[in-house]
Structure 1
Amino acid sequence: MEIISIIIPTLNEEKHLPTTLTGLADRKDIQLIVVDGGSEDRTRETAADLGARVILSSRGRGHQLNRGTEASRGELLLFLHGDTILPQNFSDAVRKTMKNGYAAGAFSLHIDSSAKRLTMVAACANLRSRLCRMPYGDQGIFTSRENFDRIGGFREGPIMEDFIFMRSIRKLGKIHILKEAVSTSSRRWDNMGIIRTTCINQIIVAGYWCGVPLPTLAEIYQRMQGVAAKNQGVNHDSSTRPH
């Protein structure tokens, strides 16, 4: 049976990791790798206690994902956010997708909230990913090691690493979006507000298509995120992760 290496980049994810990791490290067909970018909480200790191999890395999701892949041994690679929970039958779905000849795949998105607006956000994200075959990182994207190597892995820029990765791997073949859904935390939308979060993310994507350099996009994203957080009276997430 092909081993699936699950690679999780983290930064201060102590709160969410127990739910994300529970049960994954107990399986012989799964390799669990957490690549930490300098957490100031107990993220690394929590990951190790739950059976994950912990790797220290400089901060930056693209760099962390590449570091985790270098340390992995699985024929299949699954890239997961630290606040996202896989469906129960994820391994069978991943193996079946890759066995059927797809270049890569991802799960459908469920946002862990009872808010109807967030149900609509998830529905729109799922429609977009199916129509465009462009899933984002919080959907748990996966591919083979061979395909990962063929495109040179993730671009190690300050932002848009999952978007660029999927654009590159889509040139190798079809992308399959599974009906099974991952469940991701609603914290970004809760902190910033649904409309603000959506608008900020779409501005960043539009800027990318217009050729704005990635460092500039990252600076714009951080600034807009900070202003939104200040208006909401909350601390903003310092990661650059547009949805």
Structure 2
Amino acid sequence: MTSSNGSPFLSVILPVLNEAETVTRQLMALRVFRERGAELVLVDGGSSDGTPALAAPEVDQLIVSARGRAMQMNAGALASQGQVLLFLHADTALPLAADDLIRRAITTGACWGRFDVRIDGRQPLLRVVERMMNWRSRLTGIATGDQAIFVRREVFETVGGYPELPLMEDIALSKRLKRLARPACLRQRVVTSARRWQKHGVLRTILLMWCLRARYFLGADPQQLAILYGYAPRQR
């Protein structure tokens, strides 16, 4: 899965922070894509639990950047070689044919897209959450990071990459990309962890996310929203 000039078709960019408990399992699952020619770029935001050492044998590039998912993904994009960039959260698993599905979407005219999502928890309310996420994304053309956003490199560069926000960076990128084209909404599902819903309770997390999203669209400061979400302010 390489181009005529030897560069990979797909670069998978994985931002991580203190993921020692899960990173090895995640990277083993991604090995099949490397075997088919995809590049895997892991961007560590300053882990203190040994994540980089665990990850190093299973990636093509390991980068350390300033903490912050948007900054980490931008750093990974800059270092990567692929024609198409796939941004994958550390707690999200791709379908086995993800690389082929992305290739088909891109070669038939898409300049960016995302997958439908399934949440791996058993609570019935999570089925409602995932259906609403997929339906809302298809209706609005806005994708979330949980849905594994992919984009042609030149398009990502044209829109200036991820806005370096502490929260809602995926929404902000989607808005930029949507000005150029609507996304390819692939119905095959990535599987994302339910850990953030389980940590604080499903209903409470749903209400919090609705509130944060509404405040963001009304112009609230993303830094303050990040603090409400539970992110510690980044040290400068």
Does the pair score TM above 0.5? yes
Match of 2:50 in 1: 42
User: 5 Å matches for 1:113-124?
Assistant: 113-124=121-132
Match of 1:132 in 2: 140
C-alpha distance after superposition, 1:60-91 (max 9, x if no partner): 11100000011000000000000111000000
Query: How many percent identity over aligned positions?
Result: 38
Counterpart AA for 2:17: L
C-alpha deviation, 1:238, in angstroms: 5.4
Say whether residues 1:74 and 2:58 are aligned partners: no
Is contact 2:41-2:60 (8 Å) kept? yes
Q: 1:93 pairs with 97, 101, 111, which one?
A: 101
Per the alignment, in what secondary structure is the counterpart of residue 30 of structure 2? Answer: coil
TM-score (norm 2): 0.90
| Structure 1 CA distance for aligned equivalents of residues 196 and 168 of structure 2 | 17
| Structure 2 CA distance for aligned equivalents of residues 120 and 27 of structure 1 | 36
Counterpart AA for 2:86: L
Counterpart AA for 1:41: D
C-alpha deviation, 1:173, in angstroms: 0.8
Q: Give the length in aligned residue pairs.
A: 226
Match of 1:143 in 2: 151
C-alpha deviation, 1:103, in angstroms: 2.6
Structure 1 pair 239–22 and aligned structure 2 pair: CA distance change class (3 A): farther
Give RMSD over aligned pairs.
Answer: 1.7
Match of 2:171 in 1: 163
Counterpart AA for 1:116: P
| Structure 2 CA distance for aligned equivalents of residues 205 and 149 of structure 1 | 26
Match of 1:182 in 2: 190
Is contact 1:19-1:85 (8 Å) kept? no
Structure 1 spans left out of the alignment, 5+ residues? 223-236
C-alpha deviation, 1:52, in angstroms: 4.3
Q: 1:13 pairs with 16, 19, 22, which one?
A: 19
| Structure 1 CA distance for aligned equivalents of residues 96 and 134 of structure 2 | 19
C-alpha deviation, 1:28, in angstroms: 4.7
Runs of 4+ in 1 over 6 A off after TM superposition: none
Q: 1:206 pairs with 181, 192, 214, which one?
A: 214
C-alpha deviation, 1:220, in angstroms: 2.8
